[in-house]
Amino acid sequence: MNKLSTSVYDAEPIPAQALQEVERLLSSGDLFRYTAPEDDPSPVVRLEEEFAEFIGARYALALNSCSSAIFLSLRSLGIKPGDKVLIPAFTFAAVPSAVVHAGAQPILVEVGDNYRIDMEDFAAKLTDHVAAVVISHMRGHTSDMDAIMALCEARGVPVVEDAAHSLGTTWNGCNIGTIGKVGCFSFQSYKLVNGGEGGILITDDEDVIARAVIMSGAYEHNWRKHRLPSNAFAKYQNALPLYNLRMNNLSAAIIRPQLAEIPRRVRDGRANHDYVAASLRASPHIEVPAPLPREERAPDSIQFNLVDFTADEARRLMALSAAKGTPISVFGLHQDNARAFWNWQFIGNIPNLPKTRAMLMKACDMRLPARLRKPELDIIIDGVLSSVAEVKGA
Ligand SMILES: *Cc1c(COP(=O)(O)O)cnc(C)c1O
């Protein structure tokens, strides 16, 4: 049987234009976002302007990570120590961590077999004690944003969208991240745009952006260099802590030329995903949940559920597929997985969440980067289907 010649964790090359800009920055030593004058904006400011335009938001703030963006969103919305923040029980550990970092208590909401928020549990937990909601569009799977926004707007609860891994996904034709009050994206290497590390926060709210810019580390009057049409900066001068979560010019130089690559990566990633999904659906032992009707994903991975597998059978599948070079990870069986809520011991008492637990024990995760071509996808499909057949019989 053929093996993949590359790892699914390998990145694609950074566009060549980045090199020229990185050389310019290295030869001048100009790496800090606030060295350049207001009328000759730094690469970080240019990235913020380009990203805001691309995504359709009034304001953008580039940061050192998406975790920092979620933390600053909560602090900018005025979340105080002891406040309760709803988050999905299926997300990356960075999300409850950002809530805890802001001094708040995460309340976990059940997630169903289709990786989306269980709206009944969400409505039940959205009480008067909840100060904010963070929605993670896990791997681009978008929860019912119409229902979530209607419930939250009725109670005046702000929504932060964690779109870390959902850049390019749309809901009702709108970019994910532009629906809630604040949207957060990641440029960590496993996401659609690879800056090594990095994140960006977007909002249309002039108070949120002023507070976020200052707290990100715009000390003294450096907020002027953001060139943002917000009247709120002066009001928060010296009133807020400075956490220093800024992005540096080198990261911006690497990220900026990749913005033009997003439409291609979205198109190819979606085609790859749909090709593999159609082949896997042919197996009676695999279920690939359908998207919600208003959602268009930009996948760089595929998730599917094992049907009628015991835990031992699922473990055998993980071992067999790994030996074939096409490793399948079952979220809940992979030891210390950062997306399994029972491993988030830092939040205090771990609640009992039977629906999310059942999903995590059968949900598989496989990377499917946009750069893969049909022969490679066929190897992946063959690796999965032959491993399933070996475990369950043909
Ligand atoms: C990657 C990721 C994050 C964290 O992003 P960083 O930039 O690494 O801090 C948060 N949420 C989700 C859903 C992610 O996939």
- In the predicted model, what is the mean pLDDT of residues 253-258? 98
Residue nearest to atom 14 of ligand 1 (CA): 164
Residue 240 Cα, ligand 1 centroid: separation in angstroms?
Answer: 25
The pLDDT assigned to 5 comes to: 78
Please state the atom number of ligand 1 nearest to the C-alpha of residue 199. 7
DSSP string, 147-175: HHHHHHHHHT--EEEE-TT-TT-EETTEE
**Percent of the chain, pLDDT > 70?**
99
Average pLDDT, stretch 57-68? 98
CATH H-level superfamily of 262-392: Aspartate Aminotransferase, domain 1 (3.90.1150.10)
pLDDT in the model for residue 4: 81
Residues of the chain with CATH 3.40.640.10: 16-260
- pLDDT (tens digit, 9 = 90+) per residue, 178-218? 999 999 999 999 999 999 999 999 999 999 999 999 999 99
Query: What is the DSSP secondary-structure string of 79-122?
Result: --TT-EEEEESSS-THHHHHHHHTT-EEEEE-B-TTSSB-HHHH
The ranges of the chain annotated as CATH 3.90.1150.10 are 262-392
> Looking at ligand 1, which residue's alpha carbon is closest to its atom 5?
66
Binding-site residues, ligand 1, Cβ < 6 A: 65-67, 91-92, 94-95, 136, 138, 162, 164-165, 186, 188, 199
Domain range 16-260, CATH class: alpha beta
Kindly report which listed range (12-16, 119-123, 159-163) carries the lowest average pLDDT score. 12-16
Residue 8 pLDDT > 90, yes or no? Answer: no
DSSP state of 257: G
**Per-residue pLDDT, 309:** 96
165 C-alpha to ligand 1 centroid (Å): 7
- State which ligand 1 atom lies nearest to the alpha carbon of 162: 11
Q: Report pLDDT digits (tens) over 269-294.
A: 999 999 999 999 999 999 999 999 99
* pTM for the structure as a whole: 0.97
Residue 1's pLDDT band, with cuts at 50, 70 and 90, is low
Above 70 in pLDDT, residue 394?
A: no
* Alpha carbon distance 219, 246 (integer Å): 11
Residue to probe by mutation, ligand 1, list 188, 301, 365, most atoms within 8 Å of CB: 188
In this structure, the residue with its CA closest to atom 15 of ligand 1 is 165
- What residue's CA is closest to ligand 1, atom 6? 66
Q: Are 197 and 65 in contact (CB under 8 A)?
A: yes
pLDDT of 14 strictly over 90? yes
90 CA to centre of ligand 1 in angstroms: 13
**Which residues, 6 or more positions from 220, have their beta carbon under 8 angstroms from its beta carbon?**
none
Cα 372 from Cα 349, distance rounded (Å): 42
**9 CA distance to ligand 1 middle (Å):** 16
Degrees (nearest 5) of the Cα angle 102, 191, 292? 85
Compute the average pLDDT of residues 155-183.
97
The CA 342 to ligand 1 mean position distance, Å, reads 18
Q: What are the tens digits of pLDDT across the range 220-239?
A: 999 999 999 878 999 999 99
Closest ligand 1 atom to 65 CA: 7
CA distance 225 to 49: 12
Q: Which ligand 1 atom sits closest to the C-alpha of 69?
A: 9
Lowest-confidence segment of 103-112, 157-166, 172-181, 323-332 by average pLDDT: 323-332
Classify burial at 302, counting beta carbons within 10 Å of its beta carbon; exposed 0-12, middle 13-18, buried 19 or more: buried
Per-residue pLDDT tens over the stretch 261-273: 999 999 999 999 9
Q: CB-based contacts of 359: which residues, under 8 Å, 6+ apart?
A: 90, 111, 112, 113, 115, 305
Neighbouring residues of 138: CB distance < 8 A, sequence distance ≥ 6: 88, 90, 91, 92, 111, 115, 165, 339
Separation of CA 235 and ligand 1 centre (Å):
31
Q: What whole-number distance in Å separates Cα of residue 194 and Cα of residue 187?
A: 5
Atom 3, ligand 1: residue with shortest CA distance: 164
Q: d(Cα 233, Cα 319) in Å, to the nearest integer?
A: 55
- Compute the distance from residue 343 Cα to the ligand 1 centre, in Å: 17
Predicted pLDDT at 167: 97
